[in-house]
Structures are given as structure tokens and as C-alpha cells.
């Protein structure tokens, strides 16, 4: 397999330099000479590459004007992305991604130190006003249903690591994945909410293993409702056992009329009715809550395998199902669907 990949890279590298007007290029890898040639293309807007070998020979080439017109960059793995980012002559990226199609065994998971270097490089070498979308993906194969304490210590990404991203004030899509999830709290979510007023899509997830227990609470969601008026999709693990003491005036001031979808992982729930009332006050159009249990069942069906969920995943799912029944927007949606169904039945009759 590796020999076939090497052969493919050499074949691609042989011909890629012949296309002087390329605007978009995605390759599994390139040799050093071809990579240098590609980096000089004045027309190249999108470049995607998976480094199968060392990047050092390319960096040592010290070629001026690397990627002068690039606006969209997709690189994996994370350590190679960290090495490539400082070479950009044109720092005005609008999109950056580490594709989620990549699969890593635990021996190749990016540690919290690698994540720290990566986010620091992005914050230092990319124009803060230009970046609109950042997507950090990957499937991190894990034999444990729940991260171990050692895994959390090695791989958890906390707020200090993500701090460089707060400088990118025009972000509209933030989709970040880490091997065991994110160690965040309400204060960090407040900083994110204030830093990203234009964000429409926010996802902070572990893949595919479950998050560590979250320190984010409903207070953090309140901040997102208050400072992110364009947010329409949210994927976040949090603790919903305690309801913030907010008056009606405060909740009305934070009310956000865009968010309709919320993925909650296996977030724990206290009083389902009170959680629903709080969410409905700050996100009045919220109509779809998706749990980790639903995602795992869907994935199992896709893979044609049996799925036996952990007990706490099922408990969380059932609790969120109850929360959903108390959401006014959900009830209205269900009523409209029923009316539409009965109308179709009458038409057929």
C-alpha cells in the first residue's frame, strides 16, 4: 500500500509542474521539487495536501513568495500544517482545514502540545481579519468508550490553547475536533462569544470517542445567545444540571432567533422542564436537539454493526428527549407536521 502511494506521489509530482495556471489542487503528496513548483503558482487559490513524507526539504529550499495567491488551505496531519503555515507569503487565508476524512490511531493523535504549536502558528502567521472558516477534523480511533485520565492529560485542548483563535474576529464557521474533547468553562465560552460575533456554525467535539465531563454550563449558552446573533448550528458538550438564575428581562435581552439545531453529545440534564424553559427563552426557534446516542446509532446502521450504548449515554438521550417535548418550537413543528400529514391524507381520499 505504501509503495503504491509513493508511486502515485512520484507520478503526480512529475506532471503537476506542467500546469502553470492551476487555481485548485488537491493531492495525497508531492516530492520536494514539485512542492516548490506548486508554491510558486500565482494562480493557485486552493491547495490540499496530505504529507506522506518529511516537509523539511521543502522548508530548507527557502524559496521566496510561497503560495502568493492562496486563500484556502487544507493540510494534514496537524504537525505538518504547523510547519507549512509560516511559509505562506500571502497570509490572507479565508479558509483553513485539516480534513476530517483522516483516521488516526492513538499513537498518532495530536497531543495538547502539538495543538498548542498549531493554533499559535495560525494566530501568528495568518491575517486576523481575513479568516472566515476553520475546520479541524479527524477520526481518532479509541478502544475506550470514555477517555482515560492519561488520555485527557495528554490530548485535552483547553482555552489557553485555543486563545490565538480569539483574534480572528470575522470567523463565521468554527468546527474543531480533538481526540478527547475540549476542557473549557463558561469564562472561555464567553470570550469566544464576544470574539466571534459573526459566527454561524460552532462545533467543539471529540471524534469518535466521548467527551470528558464538561465544565461549560447553561451560563455559557446564555453568552452565545447574547453575543452571537447569527449562530444557527451548535455542537457542544455541557452540564445542564444547574439552571442559571436569570430574570425574564435578562433572558429576553439575550434572546437569539436564529439557532434551530443543537447537538448536545451526552450532556447531563437536571430538571428537563426547567432546562427546556431556559433554552426556549434564549433560543426560541430551537427545534432539533441531537444526542450522542442518536449519532452512534446512525453510525452503527451505516457500518452495519451492532451498537450497545453506555448506560449514561442512554440516560442523557432520554433526558434530552424529555427536554424536547417541552420546547414550544418543537411542539409547533410537530403540530404543523401532523396537520400537513392529515392534509395529504384528505387529498388522497
CA 70 – CA 93 distance, rounded (Å): 7
Task: Locate the domains of the chain by residue range.
Answer: 1-70, 76-85+94-348
- CB-hemisphere CA count at 13 Å for 220? 19
Nearest residue to 56 (alpha-carbon basis) of 37, 24, 26, 31: 31
CA 219 – CA 246 distance, rounded (Å): 9
CA 66 – CA 46 distance, rounded (Å): 13
What CATH code is assigned to 76-85+94-348? 3.80.10
CA 52 – CA 6 distance, rounded (Å): 8
CA 3 – CA 161 distance, rounded (Å): 37
Per-residue pLDDT of the chain (349 residues; tens, 9 = 90+): 445 666 767 777 777 766 668 899 988 888 888 888 888 888 999 999 887 566 777 777 766 678 889 999 999 889 889 988 988 877 789 999 998 766 777 878 899 999 999 999 999 999 999 999 999 988 777 656 678 889 889 999 999 999 999 999 999 999 999 988 899 999 999 999 999 999 999 999 987 666 688 999 999 999 999 999 999 999 999 999 999 999 999 999 999 999 999 999 999 999 999 999 999 999 999 989 999 989 888 877 766 667 677 888 899 999 999 999 999 866 444 444 444 545 554 455 4
- In the prediction, which pLDDT does 241 show? 96
Helix (H) or strand (E) holding 74: strand 72-76
Terminal CA-to-CA distance of the chain, rounded, Å? 60
Amino acid at each position: 500500500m505504501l509503495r503504491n502511494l509513493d508511486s502515485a506521489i512520484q507520478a503526480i509530482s512529475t506532471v503537476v509542474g506542467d500546469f502553470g495556471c492551476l487555481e485548485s489542487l488537491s493531492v495525497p503528496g508531492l516530492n520536494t521539487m514539485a512542492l516548490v513548483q506548486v508554491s510558486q503558482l500565482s494562480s493557485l487559490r486552493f491547495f490540499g495536501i496530505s504529507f506522506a513524507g518529511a516537509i523539511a526539504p521543502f522548508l530548507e529550499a527557502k524559496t521566496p513568495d510561497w503560495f502568493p495567491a492562496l486563500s484556502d488551505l487544507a493540510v494534514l496531519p496537524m504537525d505538518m500544517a504547523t510547519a507549512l503555515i509560516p511559509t505562506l507569503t500571502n497570509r490572507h487565508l479565508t479558509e483553513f482545514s485539516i480534513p476530517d476524512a483522516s483516521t488516526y490511531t492513538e499513537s498518532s493523535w495530536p497531543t495538547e502540545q502539538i495543538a498548542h504549536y498549531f493554533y499559535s502558528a495560525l494566530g501568528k502567521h495568518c491575517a486576523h481579519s481575513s479568516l472566515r472558516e476553520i475546520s479541524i477534523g479527524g477520526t481518532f480511533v479509541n478502544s475506550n468508550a470514555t477517555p482515560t485520565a492519561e488520555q485527557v492529560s495528554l490530548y485535552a485542548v483547553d482555552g489557553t490553547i485555543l486563545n490565538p483563535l480569539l483574534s480572528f474576529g470575522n470567523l463565521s464557521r468554527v468546527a474543531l475536533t480533538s481526540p478527547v474533547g475540549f476542557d473549557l468553562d463558561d469564562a472561555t465560552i464567553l470570550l469566544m462569544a464576544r470574539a466571534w460575533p459573526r459566527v454561524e456554525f460552532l462545533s467543539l467535539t471529540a471524534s469518535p470517542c466521548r467527551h470528558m465531563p464538561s465544565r461549560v454550563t447553561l451560563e455559557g449558552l446564555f453568552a452565545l445567545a447574547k453575543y452571537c446573533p447569527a449562530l444557527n448550528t451548535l455542537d457542544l458538550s455541557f452540564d445542564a444540571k444547574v439552571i442559571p438564575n436569570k430574570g425574564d428581562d435578562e433572558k429576553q435581552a439575550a434572546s437569539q432567533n436564529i439557532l434551530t439545531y443543537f447537538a448536545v453529545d451526552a450532556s447531563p440534564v437536571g430538571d428537563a422542564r426547567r432546562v427546556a424553559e431556559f433554552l426556549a427563552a434564549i433560543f426560541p426557534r430551537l427545534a432539533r436537539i441531537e444526542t450522542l446516542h442518536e449519532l452512534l446509532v446512525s453510525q452503527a446502521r451505516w457500518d452495519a454493526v451492532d451498537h450497545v450504548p453506555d448506560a449514561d449515554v442512554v440516560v442523557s438521550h432520554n433526558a434530552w428527549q424529555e427536554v424536547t417535548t417541552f420546547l414550544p418550537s418543537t411542539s409547533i413543528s410537530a403540530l404543523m407536521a401532523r396537520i400537513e400529514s392529515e392534509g395529504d391524507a384528505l387529498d388522497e381520499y
